[in-house]
């Protein structure tokens, strides 16, 4: 058994994007891990190129899954968890990166020291448009200090369900055996296909979630399912949200869930049937990406994988 398995989810990303992600994993200082690349039936099967990549760098501790049909992100992760043998798991989407060369080591040390079942760290976003690179912290959840003991779980649940203050999936890491049932429940009972973030909410309803006050993830802003902005994407996302809230209403009959369901129905109508969705999305994004005065955000230095993975020699850096 490995201390940790790194699951890379792919779907129609370019080979360059996938390699960027893999490079951030294979160049870790920590060397006792496996990589599982799980492809959700992309238009072009990436297996041959991936096998060539691993062969060229001399890395053999990997597994490749290619789904014969598109099952969605949540089931794609479920399949990888069944094949993983790590005590802990870090999931990463193709195109994104582990934050730095010591990220896996820090995650494993923190997980073992605290007996972690589910935890999350900090995320930074990057957006590369032509010669302009923009980086921002991703301030979600907006109050991570709520997850530092002693926790008020009732306040956390209210914050997630009423304020939609979700923990982003890219920030999560977890004990494999512990989380498998939650992902399975999310896929089957709740019928959620894409919003893997909701696995943290299911845990929060019955258990505690730990906060790791370190950067763990680089997220490529503007290319994922959750923020691409198209009508089709909004419909997919709100179908997932509708299924999730209906499942909560079915399984948890209390006033917070009922209130959250009613608020969601209003928000869903606004986002799908009124022109206000753009204004709402811009406002929400601005909240997530806001840099406060006490964060002193600056362009990263040292062993951050953003510098190692992108050709930044001729671009303007905007923090």
Q: What is the 3-class SS of the chain, one letter each residue?
A: CCCEEEEEEECCCCHHHHHHHHHHHHCCCCCCEEEEEEECCCCCCCHHHHHHHHHHHCCCCEEEEECCCCCCHHHHHHHHHHHCCCCEEEEEEECEEECECCHHHHHHHHHHHHCCCEEEEEEEEEEEECCEEEEEEECCCCCHHHHCCCCCHHHHHHHHHHHCCCCCHHHEEEEHHHHHHHHHHHHHCCCCCCCCCHHHHHHHCCCCCEEEEEEEEEEECCCCHHHCCCHHHHHHHHHHHHHHHHHHHHHCCCHHHHHHHHHHHHHHHHHHHCCCHHHHHHHHHHHHHCCCHHHCCCCCCCCEHHHHHCCCCCCEEEC
Task: Indicate the range of 33-47, 48-62, 209-223 predicted with least confidence.
Answer: 209-223
Pick from 25, 24, 10: nearest CA to 307: 24
Asked if the model's pLDDT at residue 302 lies above 80, the reply is: no
Helices 73-83 and 176-188 cross at an angle (nearest 10°) of 150
Confidence of residue 232 (pLDDT cuts 50, 70, 90): confident
- Confidence (pLDDT) at 37: 98
Lookup: tokens for 101: 């060369």
- Confidence (pLDDT) at 316: 42
* Dihedral over alpha carbons 234, 236, 238, 240 (to 10 degrees): -150
User: What distance in Å separates the CA atoms of residue 232 and residue 111, rounded to the nearest whole number?
Assistant: 38
What mean pLDDT do residues 169-192 have? 98
Architecture of domain 4-226+294-318: Alpha-Beta Complex (3.90)
**Cis preceding-peptide flag for 311 (omega within 30 of 0):** no
- Confidence (pLDDT) at 284: 63
What mean pLDDT do residues 290-318 have? 52
Asked if the model's pLDDT at residue 294 lies above 90, the reply is: no
Asked if the model's pLDDT at residue 4 lies above 50, the reply is: yes
What's the chain's average pLDDT? 88
Q: How many CB atoms lie within 10 A of CB 150?
A: 6
Confidence of residue 295 (pLDDT cuts 50, 70, 90): very low
């Amino acid at each position: 058994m490995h201390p940790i398995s790194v699951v890379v989810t792919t779907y129609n990303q370019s080979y360059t994007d996938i390699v960027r992600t893999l490079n951030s994993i294979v160049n870790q200082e920590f060397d006792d891990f496996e990589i599982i690349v799980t492809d959700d039936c992309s238009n072009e099967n990436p297996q041959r190129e991936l096998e060539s990549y691993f062969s060229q760098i001399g890395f053999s501790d990997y597994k490749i899954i290619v789904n014969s049909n598109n099952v969605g992100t949540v089931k794609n992760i479920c399949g990888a968890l069944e094949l993983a043998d790590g005590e802990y798991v870090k999931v990463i989407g193709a195109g994104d990166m582990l934050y730095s060369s010591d990220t896996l080591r820090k995650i494993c040390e923190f997980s073992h020291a605290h007996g972690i079942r589910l935890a999350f760290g900090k995320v930074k976003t990057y957006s590369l448009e032509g010669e302009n690179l923009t980086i921002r912290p991703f301030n979600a959840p907006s109050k991570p200090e709520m997850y530092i003991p002693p926790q008020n779980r009732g306040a956390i649940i209210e914050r997630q369900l009423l304020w939609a203050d979700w923990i982003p999936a890219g920030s999560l890491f977890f004990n494999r055996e512990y989380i498998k049932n939650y992902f399975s429940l999310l896929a089957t009972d709740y019928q959620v296909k894409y919003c893997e973030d909701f696995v943290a909410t299911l845990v929060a309803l019955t258990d505690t979630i730990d906060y790791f006050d370190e950067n763990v993830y680089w997220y490529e802003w503007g290319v994922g399912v959750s923020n691409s902005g198209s009508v089709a994407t909004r419909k997919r996302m709100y179908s997932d949200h509708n299924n999730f809230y209906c499942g909560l209403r079915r399984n948890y009959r209390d006033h917070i869930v009922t209130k959250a369901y009613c608020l969601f129905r209003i928000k869903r109508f606004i986002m799908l049937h009124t022109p206000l969705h753009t204004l709402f999305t811009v406002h929400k994004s601005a909240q997530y990406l806001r840099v406060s005065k006490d964060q002193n955000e600056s362009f990263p230095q040292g062993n951050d994988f953003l510098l190692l993975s992108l050709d930044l020699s001729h671009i303007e850096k905007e923090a």
